[in-house]
Amino acid sequence: MTRAISPRSRKVRVLATLGPASATPEMIATLFEAGADAFRINMSHGDQASKVGVIQAIRALEKKFGRPTTILADLQGPKLRVGRFADGRIMLEQGASFTLDRDATPGDATRVELPHREIFAAIEPGARLLLDDGKLVLRVVEHDDARIVTRVEVGGALSNNKGLNVPDVVVPMAALTDKDRSDLAFAIDEGVDWIALSFVQRPEDLAEARKLIAGKAALLAKIEKPAAIDRLEEIVEMCDGVMVARGDLGVELPPQSVPPLQKRIVETSRRLGRPVIVATQMLESMITSPSPTRAEVSDVATAIYDGADAIMLSAESAAGAWPVESVAMMNAIGEAVERDPMHGDRIRFTVTRPDPTTADALAEAAKNIALTVSAKAIICFTTSGSTARRVARERPSVPLLVLTPRVETARRLGLLWGTHAVHTRDVDSFEEMVAKAKRVALRQRIVEAGDRVIIMAGVPFRTPGSTNVIHVVRIVGDELKNYG
């Protein structure tokens, strides 16, 4: 039985990662009620079979609450790792020489296999190699096609298959591994709404994923490599959304450089009209503690003040001891920040860059008209979701109610700031469109009798990207008569 709930008053979206602590149908529903708007499935962990039940549980949740719900599948990407050691673990001493080579023989304190031949050609003397999330630092002394000789700058323990980061060069690796291609095909078959591509370095990295997706999901670029910063605007223009993946970004760059980069990525994404997610370690202490640090609360608030579309929980909701409390805290921070009178001024400080089109001009006009006439909502009809994305980019001060005949579109819009999408039957006339907009707004409890609303659509109907009408109407209050 459907139990429809009112739209959230909070405009920033909460994206919760599901995992061992939260993947049951009961827990997913509890997270939704606590404030989760969308769910992330990390394809790095577990097999595909284990994801099927999770996806089915989210779709069952949609029916229960009558709200299209976003699912994001996050691909692992080309993760670099060293090989294995004869004793499982070694100690690297500062100043010692250490070689990475292509010999599969288990390593020791002088060498280890590096099973990524593309690095041998790309690396240069003086470049850094970071091991185990940056805990160990090697400096390249010399190299050839079969070995890289380094000097240990920061030593420590190194065990089997630890991760390797190469921050100083662009490694000519394929953006998708065989595992990624398999996981992407699985995710598309299961009907996920967004595909997140890891370790994007250049706009060309998005091409293969875009082709494989074939319009069946939206494509999100994770910005976590220094090389991506150099071509940020090109990458943002090539994708449908962006994630500020602060984990690996903070490994390959000095930690103090991450906050200004976060602001730059958010600003660029917003200016170009792409939804942007801020992620990683937002409430990290809540993995083990029922309450966050004050610094973590401030970190989440900063992302909201910057105008991020969504804020994300990783291990906090996937594997932590307090997943529900983590989501509830994210929700509470979002509500508190958005009550601040300064919030609206801050998020509208970013100057967007509308294209010289009728649709973009009307999206900007809708925001201004709503403010001038004190409208209570902007309602748009859309097939592809492009109208909603344009309006959300302008960060209107009123709720954005989106009506679409495509449930796939409604689901994809779940990561957009301030957007409440409703899957509904299409309309055949302008009069029917206005009547339906009023009814849905009343049913969703977004407006009441006497309120003005802004209605946007494209005429003729059923033509994606054709928004050319903006209409101001007043809610009478009797629009639900004879409609139950």
Per-position DSSP letters for 373-394, written without gaps between them: TT-SEEEEE-SSSHHHHHHHHT
Give me the number of domains the chain comprises: 3
> Same structural domain for residues 374 and 466?
yes
Express each pLDDT in 52-84 by its tens digit. Answer: 999 999 999 999 999 999 999 999 999 899 999
The CATH number of residue 400's host domain is 3.40.1380.20
How much is the pLDDT for 345? 83
Which residues are bridge partners to 149 per DSSP? 99, 142
Q: Which two tokens stand for residue 152?
A: 């240990």
Which candidate, 54, 151, 163, places its Cα nearest to that of 114?
Answer: 163
The distance from CA 257 to its chain's CA centroid, rounded to whole angstroms, is 21
Per the listing, tokens 């500020």 go with 244
Domain span including residue 68 = 13-77+175-345
Residue 131, judged by CB atoms within 10 A of its CB (0-12, 13-18, 19+), counts as buried
Residue 177 carries which side chain, given as an amino acid letter? T
Residue 8 lies in a domain: no
Per the listing, tokens 């991020």 go with 308
> Same structural domain for residues 285 and 364?
no
Q: Which is it for strands 38-42 and 70-74: parallel, antiparallel or unpaired?
A: parallel
Phi then psi for residue 73, to 5 deg, are -100, 120
Sheet holding 147-154, edge to edge: 111-113, 97-101, 147-154, 136-143, 128-131, 164-165
Last residue of a domain, one of 128, 143, 165: 165
Instruction: Say if residues 475 and 377 touch (Cβ distance below 8 Å).
Output: no
The CATH number of residue 256's host domain is 3.20.20.60
State whether residue 465 is helix, strand or coil: coil
Last residue of a domain, one of 345, 379, 408: 345
> Same structural domain for residues 330 and 371?
no
> Same structural domain for residues 292 and 203?
yes
How much is the pLDDT for 347? 84
Residue 481 lies in a domain: no
Residue 350 lies in a domain: no
> Same structural domain for residues 38 and 118?
no
pTM of the model: 0.91
How much is the pLDDT for 484? 47
> Same structural domain for residues 338 and 218?
yes
How much is the pLDDT for 235? 98
How much is the pLDDT for 344? 84
How much is the pLDDT for 457? 87
Residue 45 lies in a domain: yes
The stretches in the chain having pLDDT less than 50 are: 1, 484
> Same structural domain for residues 186 and 258?
yes
Which candidate, 219, 161, 223, places its Cα nearest to that of 198?
Answer: 223
Which candidate, 88, 81, 251, places its Cα nearest to that of 161?
Answer: 81
Residue 2 lies in a domain: no
How much is the pLDDT for 483? 58
How much is the pLDDT for 353? 73
Residue 234 lies in a domain: yes
> Same structural domain for residues 182 and 103?
no
How much is the pLDDT for 465? 63
How much is the pLDDT for 1? 43
How much is the pLDDT for 34? 97
> Same structural domain for residues 253 and 372?
no
> Same structural domain for residues 366 and 467?
yes
The distance from CA 38 to its chain's CA centroid, rounded to whole angstroms, is 10
Which residues are bridge partners to 72 per DSSP? 40, 194
Last residue of a domain, one of 345, 373, 401: 345
Instruction: Say if residues 374 and 452 touch (Cβ distance below 8 Å).
Output: yes
> Same structural domain for residues 145 and 184?
no
Q: Which two tokens stand for residue 301?
A: 């608030």
How much is the pLDDT for 5? 62
Total residues belonging to the chain: 484
Residue 293 carries which side chain, given as an amino acid letter? T
Residue 180 lies in a domain: yes
The set of residues, in sequence order, having a beta carbon less than 8 Å from that of 459 and lying 6+ positions away, is 430, 466, 468, 469
Express each pLDDT in 149-182 by its tens digit. Answer: 999 999 999 999 999 999 888 888 888 999 999 9
How much is the pLDDT for 462? 67
Angle subtended at Cα 160 by Cα 157 and Cα 161, rounded to the nearest 5 degrees: 115
Its sign, for the CA torsion 351, 353, 357, 363, is negative
> Same structural domain for residues 304 and 335?
yes
Residue 200 carries which side chain, given as an amino acid letter? V
